A and B are shown apart, each in its own frame.
Chain A
Amino acid sequence: MAITFSVTLAASILLLFFFIFWESSVFETRRVDHQLERDAEILAHEPPADVAVSVNRRVAADFHRILYSALFDPDGHPAIGNLPQIPSGLPLDGLAHRAHLHVAETDRLHLQEGRLVGRRLEDGRILVIGRNVDSLQDLEDVGLRALEMGVAPALVITLLGGLIFGQRAQRQIQTIHDVAERIAQGKLAERLPILKADSNLDRLASNVNLMLDGVVQNLEQMKNSNDHIAHDLRTPLTRVRAHLDRARETPDHNDKLLAQAIAGLDHALRIIAALRRISEIEATERRSDFAPVNLISVAEEVTEFYAPLAEEKNIALSLTIKTPQLIEGDRDLLIEALANLVDNALKFSPKGGQVKLNLRTEDHAPVLSIEDTGPGIPPEERDAVMRRFYRSQRTQHLQGSGLGLSIVEAIANLHGITIAFADRPLGCCIELHFPQV
């Protein structure tokens, strides 16, 4: 890539140079020709007696000795001027032509190249004027030198640079290949090299590295939760095994043991179902099913759903609403989240306790709090309770998958809801802070 680019660049430089060179030399030649033709025209129309004087004056005035001016007899013998003969092959048509000619200089003849105009005057004499084009030659020389001194090194630099950069990119890509291969083999700590050149390749490499960081983090989380899943499934399954073992030993009275075994398996299945539910929620495209949801109706429906259970446990379940609240969300998921929270609150509150739902506005955003009179969550455990499978020592006797709060968290993440724990002297108060509408 880099090499193709530098070759193209070099070719353009050359092309540009030759264009300028050619244009300027052609232009200069044309300018000279035009002037000569005009001068010849003027001289030709002077009175015959004056022509010789003018020719002489031209010769005399030419300090640099670049002009040719001469008058020849009708038979071609030189009369006056600095040309010993009419250059061979010069048409006498009054137009400028290129010609080689011999010039008398001090005591010898020089062969020179020039642009010359020849024309026959009315009295038969022949006028030849011209200009040495050595200066044009100089111009060409300057151009060629420029080619040598400027363009050639520029070309070399371009090609070399392309080669070097190309090889550097090639090396970086090769390293990326090597590293990617090692990562694929499981060496997840490896990262792609960054050359600090701020190139596209570097930006790509650093993005890939960021992605790898995320992948590693997810893998670690997955590993952690795999450990937890293994542990949490082992507990009920070990019990099931024990129940079944005992049932085999006492075949006559095994109804209760079998029922216990089935309950243990159900517990394990509940954990699996909850885990699948969490992955399902986490895989949901954000806002794919979002529609305006009235939080009041969500809170009322969940309160109504749990009212009989609260009544049975003699817990006062109440809902207070300060302001109506419309948000964008998935109503079914919000009900599921709130149901989990109310379920927990009722589970942890003792008989005769209270569970209070409160819907209000704080800083223009809806806040829904669920407060209970259960054992509460000590501040040092509050982060941990959101972790999958975490169960406070004090509530481990209660049944459940232990994944309810993780489901709530997954739903909250989907909706941009922040979960906070408010301090209460008694019980637990969980607040759902919805994003501003």
Chain B
Amino acid sequence: MKMSLNMQNEMSTSVGRKILLIEDDQVVSEEIVESFTTKGHRVTSTSSGMQGFALARTGEFELMIIDRGLPELDGLSIIKSLRAEKVTTPAIFLSAMGEVGNRVDGLEAGGDDYLPKPFHMFELAARAEALLRRAAPSQETQLRLGDIELDLLHRQARRGEREIDLLPREFKLLEYLMRHAGQTVTRAMLLEEVWNYKFAVETNLVDVHMSKLRHKIDGPGEEKRLLSIRGVGFMLQVA
């Protein structure tokens, strides 16, 4: 908890968003409510799948956090029914069930992210942030963040006048960071989204890749843009 409090200052958070939490585990539920309320969000929480479903159907929420294994009406069914009714509120599944196979089920049911229990609160916070800020998929071929430019068509990266020579994976990594600029992204998010790996890597491999990328982006004398957020992940700062 302390960690997420500290984080608040470091990441520029979108505040005052309406979040629906459907979770029957009292302890987990209270922790999530406290964490998001502290960040200035308004959280409506319920332990009942039926009630949660009724609330979600109003369409007034901007994010749903749903436990997959609820007693009467389980999370998967709730999301399936909501998606069938064209309720598109982004949803994160929390699940005590195994990882890879169940994650696929969750995403296929219409969930936007899937977090196995136990999880760090910072992991949930980062993923919630990513979904709250998610923009409609764009057709643009140029990404720009201050003096950092990414030409998606010609696979070229520049910082100011300087051309950055990137390996294909580094390019993908930078693209992901630019699309999530100003947000904290976790190692697990990077592994899932950039490498498409769903397994845990024991060594600090992501850090090593990020440190190589940082050397290429933040040249000598240039302002540091790619930050490490201790114990949590990384953030590409908005200029």
Chain B interface, DSSP helix/strand/loop, else mixed: loop
User: What is the chain B residue whose CB lies nearest that of A276?
Assistant: B98
Interface core residue of B167, B198, B201 (most chain A CB under 10 Å): B201
Contact assessment for B203 and A346 in the assembled complex, using a CB-CB cutoff below 8 Å: yes
Q: Contact mask A363-380 → B, CB, 8 Å, 1/0?
A: 000000000000000000
Q: How far is the CA of A304 from the CA of B98 in the complex (A)?
A: 28
Binary interface profile of B, 199-214, with partner A (CB < 8 Å = 1, else 0)?
1111101001101100
In the complex, what distance in Å separates the CA atom of A279 from the CA atom of B199? 14
Residue A176 interfacial (CB < 8 Å): no
**From B101, B201, B208, contact of A308 by CB (8 A):** B208
Could you tell me if B202 and A270 are in contact, using CB atoms closer than 8 angstroms?
yes
Set of chain B residues within 8 Å of A308, measured between Cβ atoms: 205, 208-209, 211-212
> Could you tell me if A312 and B208 are in contact, using CB atoms closer than 8 angstroms?
yes
Interface string of A202-224 (1 = CB under 8 A from B): 00000000000000000000000
Known interface pairs A280-B101, A308-B209; A347-B118 also in contact (CB < 8 Å): no
Beta-carbon contacts under 8 Å, A324-366 to B? 332, 335-336, 339, 343, 346-347
Establish whether residues A274 and B200, one from each chain, have CB atoms under 8 Å apart when the complex forms.
yes
Q: Mark B65-102, 1 if CB is under 8 A from A, else 0.
A: 00000000000000000000000000000000011110
* B202 x A343 contact (CB < 8 A): yes
Tell me, rounded to whole Å, the shortest Cβ–Cβ distance linking A412 to chain B.
Answer: 15
A269 contacts the other chain (CB 8 A): yes
Closest to B205 in A: A309
Q: Are A343 and B203 in contact (CB under 8 A)?
A: yes
| Chain A residue with the shortest CB-CB distance to B204 | A309
B198 touches A309 (CB 8 A): no
Check B99–A276 contact: CB distance below 8 A: yes
A339 touches B98 (CB 8 A): no
Which of B197, B208, B211 gathers the greatest number of chain A CB atoms within 10 Å? B208
Q: Which residues of B contact A343 (CB under 8 A)?
A: 201-203, 205
Interface residues of B in 137-175 (CB under 8 A from A): 167, 169
Which chain A residues lie closer than 8 Å to B167 at the CB level? 304
B195: contacting residue among A277, A305, A400, CB under 8 A: A305
B98, A279: Cβ atoms closer than 8 Å: yes
A305 and B168 CA atoms in complex are apart in Å by 11
Partner of A336, one of B98, B118, B197, B212: B197
Instruction: Point out the residue from B98, B118, B196 that lies within 8 Å of A280, measured CB to CB.
Output: B98
Known: A280-B98, A404-B202. A269 touches B209 (CB 8 A): no
Q: A400 CA to B202 CA in the complex, in Å?
A: 6
B-facing residues in A287-306 (Cβ within 8 Å): 304-306
B197: chain A residues within 8 A (beta carbon): 332, 335-336, 339
Residues on B with C-beta less than 8 A from A276 are: 98-99
Let me know if A53 is at the binding interface, CB within 8 A.
Answer: no
Q: Nearest chain B CB to A400's CB is how many angstroms away?
A: 5
A270 with B199: CB separation less than 8 A:
no
For residue A399, CB closer than 8 A to chain B, the reply is yes
Residues of A within 8 A of B169 (CB): 304-305
A156 adjacent to chain B (CB < 8 Å): no
> B99, A280: Cβ atoms under 8 Å?
yes
A309 touches B208 (CB 8 A): yes
Task: Choose one: A270, A279, A305, A332; the contact of B200 (CB below 8 Å).
Answer: A270
Determine the chain B residues whose CB is within 8 A of the CB of A347 once the complex forms.
Answer: 203
Residues in A with CB closer than 8 Å to B203 are 309, 343, 346-347
A339 partner residues in chain B, CB cutoff 8 A: 197, 199, 201
Q: Is A401 an interface residue (CB 8 A)?
A: yes
> Which residues of B lie under 8 Å from residue A335 when comparing CB positions?
197
Question: How many whole Å from A402's CB to the nearest CB in chain B?
Answer: 10
Q: Once the chains are docked, how many angstroms separate the CA of A400 from the CA of B200? A: 11
A26 located at the interface, meaning its Cβ lies under 8 Å from any Cβ of chain B in the complex: no
A277 to chain B, nearest CB (A): 7
Contacts of A399 in B (CB 8 A): 202
Q: How far is the CA of A279 from the CA of B100 in the complex (A)?
A: 11
Q: Mark A385-407, 1 if CB is under 8 A from B, else 0.
A: 00000000000000111001001
Known pairs A277-B200, A346-B203 / 5 extra A-B pairs, C-beta < 8 Å:
A270-B202, A280-B99, A308-B212, A339-B201, A343-B203
Binding site for A on B (CB under 8 A): 98-101, 116, 118, 167, 169, 195-203, 205, 208-209, 211-212
Enumerate the 5 nearest inter-chain pairs by beta-carbon distance, A residue then B residue, closest first.
A280-B98, A308-B208, A336-B199, A309-B208, A400-B202
- Pairs across A and B, CB under 8 Å, 9 listed: A276-B98, A277-B99, A279-B98, A308-B211, A308-B212, A309-B203, A309-B208, A336-B197, A346-B203
